Structure 1
Amino acid sequence: MIRKIALVGAGGKMGCRITDNLRDNRDYDVSYLEVSAEGKSRLMQRGVAVSSEEVIGGADAVILAVPDIHIGKVASSLLQKFRPGCIVITLDPAAAMGGHLPKRDDITYFVTHPTHPSVFNWEADRKKHFDYFGGISATQSIVCALAQGPEEHYAEGEALAKIFYAPVSRAHRITVEQMALLEPGLAETFLGAVMFTMREALDDIIAKGVPREAAFDFFMGHINIDLALCFDQIPGGVFSDACYKAIAIGKPLIFRDDWKKVLDPEHVKYQVEIMTKA
């Protein structure tokens, strides 16, 4: 059972989010590791003391809250310090998918990532709605995968992830390969490209003379209703006949016929390879 935790990269952007959710939890004994001056300053502001790498050997779980391009190097440098049976947790599938986690048969690799609060997640408390990233007040789901290790470690890893990503409504168990299809494939490579293209379209309309506030309000309102219709949030709701005709005109102008290639498993592996290069 996980009792002692070492959080590596505790003062980074993601590390601070996890620190904030773990520091007052009495179920775990957490040590915080950070090497950058900026990170140490953030921890100091939180009243959190930085530990040395000596704590790694006694940790039941080690959370690697470091950028994807550094995980392989960091994990390799700590590899001999992990105790047998240690659960090593990464916050993204890229390192596991890209083969950057060093081989050692007597440790567990557990991968988890937040879904972030849904656009359909209407919080009763309006302030919670503005926790866009999650992990503070707005409810989100998480995905988890046991990349390597005994089955009983899955439940322990999921329970810990629910705490450091809290508040969590659902935890979905999937494989590392499936998680990579979700990110980077679906959420970053596909959706990120679509989102930036949407922003470019809005900026183009404003450049053509439509007042910025009018264009923004119109665009955001239509995103809201279009999402609700597209993803079955309105029972029996459909687009207008004219809108379907407009979609038929726009889709071949905007998307290549082979656009789904970006979601092919082999292409996702290529994306991971590019993203994890230093």
Structure 2
Amino acid sequence: MSAAELLIVAGVALLAGAVNSIAGGGSLILFPTLVALGLGTVAANVTNSLAQWPGYLGGVAGFRPEYAGQRRRLLRFGAVAVLGGLAGSVLLLTTPSDAFDVLVPVLVLLASLLLAVQPVITRRLSGVDAAEPGRDPGWLYVVLFFATAYGGYFGGALGVILVGVLGIGLQRIKLANALKSALSAVTATVTLVVFGLFGPVDWVVVAVAAPAGLVGGFLGARIATRIPATLLRVVIVTFGVAVSVYLFTRV
């Protein structure tokens, strides 16, 4: 990429990091930008995954107080996320890129629609904050595996999926939101290792986008209360749907 294109990547990554802190959906901005700048869909996906990784760590740091007393649960769920993220990332690298090209418009559209209904999910689950349940339901581990496998394969709106699944399974929306960040970070770390060793990563783009995204995430957290999240979500969802339509026309 040229210096001008890398400057665009840095600016978009900064925006994506801020968007992730404010409303979620930063991948729906950075991924299509990388495709538009000439990266193949698989290369753009794995590069985007690595570039987003520092932001997940920042989210975990911000939720540290919520993890008190959750060590065993974090270990159990984290082990599932490792297996799921590994399965998804290996599936991406071992299946034909043509298959991903066909699936990616659907995945972008799905991620956009999930982001659109995120407030509805949150409102529905906010009324089920309850006392600590005695044991996590068995189905929750199965669904978490498939959710994190999706995260390893594509990852757009993974946080929305995890909040919904964990909110229903644990009946504690605040804890679900905190665990969402931890499991997203675990999944992203797995993809970092797998894609870093075997994926078609554009390391120059990662070197520019990762720190920019980290700064954007920090700034987004600072200004989150000043920006109407609903307006931002509408813009991101509209953009995501438009991108999916464009990608459908390329298949």
TM range (shorter): under 0.3
**What's the TM-score once normalised by structure 2's chain length?**
0.26
**What's the TM-score once normalised by structure 1's chain length?**
0.25
Looking at both structures, which has the greater relative contact order when contacts are Cα pairs under 8 Å and sequence separation is at least 6? 2
- Higher strand fraction: Structure 1 or Structure 2? 1
- Higher helix fraction: Structure 1 or Structure 2? 2
Structure of larger gyration radius:
1
